[in-house]
Structure 1
Amino acid sequence: MNADQQALDWLEEYRSPTASAADLLCDRHDPEAVAFTLVEPDMTSESMTWGQLADESRRMATVLAAKGIQRGECVPVLLGKRRALVVTLLGLWRLGAVHVPLFTAFATGAIELRTESSGARFVVTDASQREKVDPLAVTVLDVDDLVAEAASAEPIAESVAIGGDATLVQLYTSGTTGKPKGVPVPLFCLASFQVYLEYSLDVTEDDVFWNAADPGWAYGLYYALLAPMVGGRTSLLLNQGFTPESTVDVISTFGVTNFAAAPTIYRAMRAGADLEAISLRRASSAGEPLTPDIVAWGVENLGCEVRDHYGQTELGMVIGNHWHPELAKPLKVGSMGQAMPGFTAGIAEGQIALDVKASPLLWFSGYDGAPEKTAERFTADGAWYLTADTGKIDDEGYLSFTSRDDDVILAAGYRIGPFDVESVLAGHAVVNEVAVVGRPDPEGIRGEVVEAFVVLRAGVEGTDELATELKNLVRDQYSRHAYPRTVHFIDSLPKTPSGKIQRFVLRRDA
């Protein structure tokens, strides 16, 4: 069966009015097979089988129901990447409740925004996070107390079958302007998540798979938890934040063969980690455009090239340099690849866009309670979903990212995409990370001029000579009209918690 037909078959099954989250995500899998490998900071680990997950989540569902949690109710969960996280989520889904992800680095304000917007009555957390939640007008459920109660509880007799169009998750976008918007994620989205897992990432039964993204955000939730769960693949979870050293330790200790992470992680690994013990079969990247230097570095240091993929909170992943042999094509420098099975991509109004009628796996139906914001995501005739990312497509269907629509630099009549300039600068031997923004031309002639913010590798000093060298690099390797008039050397780039560079902060603060 080819990939397009497989995508449609999964869609038909997962959109059924009788579809059950518990069945799709757990109960149908071999109870003896491993669902998750749970790793602690000291590299000790435990395995959780599908059978254990089924039993523990059924008992958890009984306890959660006794607390008053009901079908369709939004329940925020603020937990690290631990066993109790997975058990709690599946327990909620057995009741037909809706998971609202909370990132563990959130402060009280960000948590309150999500609890109030979702109408939450409860928050599930643990002692390490509780002080952030206690000031809020919600009932706090301590997960360790829930686990203790669940140990002696009777398993729930029957899980709720919510149907494919019902909401599984309500996730909030990490917007750079305005308040985050609620995105209802329906159960049938699992079809597109499984297509990405099996065809773009090419996660097989023999792989040791690790998506290092945090499940408090879309890429981690969708593809470290939900996609492996629906696909019946073992997923590794590390119960700590990111460091280059711990990432390498996990990959080498557990023999990871299929790895997915944000470009930030790959750049950090390149800058300061011993990679001799790593040999990956597949390496994938998402969340921010991948510069060509990381692709080449991966071949030499990781055992394979790093392939770039593209998606959004509202879509999941939809475009990629797919790994599966049926879909794999040669990489084109600077391209995010081609549309994923189940989607048709193109350019509309200058933006990367999806053809709504020709994209059966498209699941976004609108932002929660925000019809005006929803309308901005579509062309006036409703034919195209607009990503707000500018880009281009070639005659082979390869798409290339230019920038977020509001990051485009307009200089002397030219539209300059930050990514093009950043790719050149990132290729310099001493540059670890870089972001480029437009600033008003002080001479008032060009409209805007390009400014670069550069994070150097450890031990390298930012000098006037180096700044001139970097300017000339762009002149020589990209274009004279796009070279940065000013180069700032800084310690770190401002980013969202999910790792996306916040260029608006650089424009504001420079």
Structure 2
Amino acid sequence: MADPLQQVNAWIATYSAPEAAVADLLCERHHDDAPALTEVNADLSWREMTFGELAWSARRLAGGLAALGVGRGDRVATVMGPGCDLAVVALATWWLGAVHVPLFTAFAPSVIALRLADASAAVVVCDGAQHDKLDLLDRDRAGAPQVVLSGLTAEQPRGAPTVAGLIAAAEPAGAPVAVGPDAALALVYTSSASGTPTAVQVPVRALAALHCFHHFGLDVTDDDVYWNTTDPAVSFGLFFGLISPLLAGHHSLVLRAGFDPELTLEVMESFGVTNLAASPTIYRALRSTLKTLPPEIALRRLASAEEPLHEDVVEWAHDVFGVAIHDHYNQTELGVCLGQASHPDAAVARKPGSMGRALPGWRVTVLDALDDVEAAPGVVGRVAVDVAHSPLMWFTGYHNATAASLRRFSPDGYWYLTGDTASRDTDGDLFFASRDSGLIVTSGYRVGPFDVESALVAHPAVAEAAVYGVPDEMRGQIVAAEVVLAEGVTASNELAEELRRTVRTRFAEHADPRQLRFVTELPRTPSGKIRRPRARSASSHG
């Protein structure tokens, strides 16, 4: 058995080199003829790009972006669905030493505008169908991002530069720009309980941690057909759907369609998927759809992340596919630092209900609820990363949010505090207890209660609102809201639907409160703050 730490140290040395160039590490160093991506459409038609084709397009698009003024350290945002075009844009960004800022297509225009301003984006590339999401941009303002269109449709405005046009007209860029280990390769926005836009700055040296999970956690091999179903605007999809397969030189699938369980099964069967990574919501939806296993589906590995995985889903998958789902714990600030590793060199006996244990290159434990000392086995406490003994630890702070960053660390900087609680056993396996941050995880997406509350109270009929998550068998959690109406307003089903629509249009489609109650007052602390847990408790018993 090989020593995993030797491999970890080799990755650290490679990705921490002063001459590290992201586009070289993700593309240029691989064989031109090797397949990189297969993009699958809803009708199962497909398009494949080799590493050579990806490099050809990215180099020319990089020349086009450079002609627009993009250079090292500039931010290039995307409002795009998964696929070959997104990979080309991201790689072209990294070719110039610039920073990729992925933005979720489900966000409302106001949210996208806020994040573009926070990131100081120089360019935003959007799918044609997403162009109206940029209507709130003041394009005449000094410093406003240049808009570039991808995937032209008949409805798109004329005159704006396009990805295809830049590739066709520009001189190819030179060699990929070397930026070194501490330069940012991405700004990834993560939900915040306070509503403040919070972007995690991902440095180049974080590639060592991403490669570690791809290898030891997912056990993706050269022979696998690998598919991560998570949207690449979400960290798990960006890190392990787009970046890590390219980093390892592995072929991966991307689906250019919304989630549908029957379509997911058809893709798995038609393209011979052998290694699947998905959220528990996806597996629960497949369980509700799949009655008998098509003989052509022959999975080798199954992985889960984004939310707790219940044992009944694991048992179902093993009965149907003959493979256990390996659960993992991930955060935007860490990638994946612990889980049920699949690679033989790191795998240990799986324990029902466990989140797994620290992956090679990490030390993760449970601290006492109040003091920064390790809790006794079996006692619920705070999940924390031992910074000094985790050579793969890469997070140092948020973009434009120093104070919030510091709250993630113990006063002496020794511990990184995840904000979640768990217990651990004597073997080091962790068992999830709760999410302290107040974030709602619905269908694998993290939703900040403050964002939904802000959208609700913007409606003239609403005086106050409290938003929280409640358990749901299919989605893990659903967004729930309690609403106090303004004086003189009468509650009705029509008003409830109008408020849900307000959340979809002012914040995000996936944050729609599926459970909405009208109440006369909200529970509060003595200082006047809303008690979301008390509202949640009242809702569950009401």
TM-score by length of 1: 0.81
DSSP 3-state at the match of 2:187: strand
Hey, what's the Cα distance between the residues in 1 that align with 2:255 and 2:538? Answer: 35
Deviations 1:373-410 (A, max 9, x none): 111111111111000000111111111111112569xx
Deviating more after overlay: 64-73 vs 176-185: 176-185
SS of the aligned residue for 2:433 comes to strand
State the partner residue of 1:362: 393
Kept in 1, the 8 Å contact 2:106–2:508? The answer is: no
Number of the residue aligned with 1:305: 324
* Cα distance change of structure 1 residues 452 and 102 upon mapping to structure 2, 3 Å threshold: closer
Task: Supply the AA of the counterpart residue of 2:310.
Answer: T
Alpha-carbon distance change, 347 to 197 in structure 1, aligned in 2, over 3 angstroms: same
Matched residue, 2:150: 143
Letter of the aligned partner of 1:284 in structure 2? A
Moved more, 197-206 or 132-141: 132-141
Q: Aligned partners of 1:501, 1:290: CA distance in 2, in Å?
A: 23
Tell me the distance in 2 between the aligned counterparts of 1:142 and 1:509: 48
Matched, 1:393 2:424: yes
Q: 1:174–1:496: 8 Å Cα contact kept in structure 2?
A: no
Distance 1:509 1:158, change over 3 A: farther
TM-score normalised according to structure 2 size: 0.76
Aligned to 1:127: 128
**Are 2:101 and 2:187, in contact at CA under 8 Å, matched by a contact in 1?**
yes
Structure 2 unmatched runs, 5+: 139-144, 152-161, 369-380, 442-468, 476-503, 516-531
Partner of 2:315: 296
- Work out the CA distance in 1 between the residues paired with 2:135 and 2:437: 37
381-390 vs 324-333, which deviates more?
A: 324-333
1:199 matched to 2:228? The reply is no
Picking from 183, 200, 206, the partner of 1:189 is 206
Q: How far off is 1:157 after superposition? A: 1.8
Work out whether 1:344 is the aligned partner of 2:344. Answer: no
**Aligned position for 2:188:** 171
- Counterpart contact for 1:210–1:235, Cα < 8 Å: yes
Contact 1:287-1:500 within 8 A present in 2 as well? no
Contact 1:14 1:187 in 2 (8 A): yes
Name the counterpart of 2:71: 70
Structure 2 match to 1:487: none
Q: Indicate the SS of the match to 2:213.
A: helix
> What is the alpha-carbon distance in structure 2 between the residues aligned to residue 32 and residue 452 of structure 1?
49
Contact 2:110 2:136 in 1 (8 A): no
2:103 and 2:277 mapped to 1: Cα distance?
21
Are 1:176 and 1:502, in contact at CA under 8 Å, matched by a contact in 2? no
The aligned residue for residue 507 of structure 1 is 536
Report Cα offsets for 1:77-126 as digits up to 9, x if no partner: 11111221111111111111111111111111221121011111321112
- Would you say how many aligned residue pairs link Structure 1 and Structure 2? 434
Percent identical = 43
Gaps of 5+ in 1: 409-417, 420-450, 458-493
Give the SS at the match of 1:177: coil
Match of 2:306 in 1: 287
Distance across 2 between alignment mates of 1:500 and 1:402: 26
Gap change, CA 1:56 and 1:257, over 3 Å in 2: same
CA distance in 2, matches of 1:315, 1:497: 26
1:233–1:502 Cα change, 3 Å:
farther
Q: Secondary structure at the match of 1:335?
A: coil
Inter-CA distance 362–276: structure 2 relative to 1 (3 Å threshold): same
- The CA RMSD over aligned residues, in Å, is 2.6
Say yes or no: does 1:378 pair with 2:409: yes
- Separation in 2, partners of 1:239, 1:165: 33
Match of 1:155 in 2: 172
Matched ranges for 1:449-488 at <5 A: 453-455=471-473
Instruction: Indicate conservation of the 8 Å contact 1:134/1:140, yes or no.
Output: no
The alpha-carbon deviation at position 178 of structure 1 amounts to 2.2
In 1, are the aligned partners of 2:327 and 2:356 still within 8 Å (CA)?
Answer: yes
Q: Give 1:244 deviation, angstroms.
A: 0.7
* Partners of 1:287 and 1:311 within 8 A in 2: yes
Distance in 1 of aligned mates of 2:426 and 2:24: 42
State the 1:154 CA deviation: 2.9
| In structure 2, C-alpha distance between the alignment counterparts of 1:358 and 1:266, rounded to whole Å | 34
CA contact (8 A) 1:287 1:499 kept: no
> Any idea what SS the aligned residue of 2:284 has?
helix
Deviations 1:143-162 (A, max 9, x none): 24222331353321222111
Q: Residues of 1 paired with 2:222 and 2:124: CA distance?
A: 35
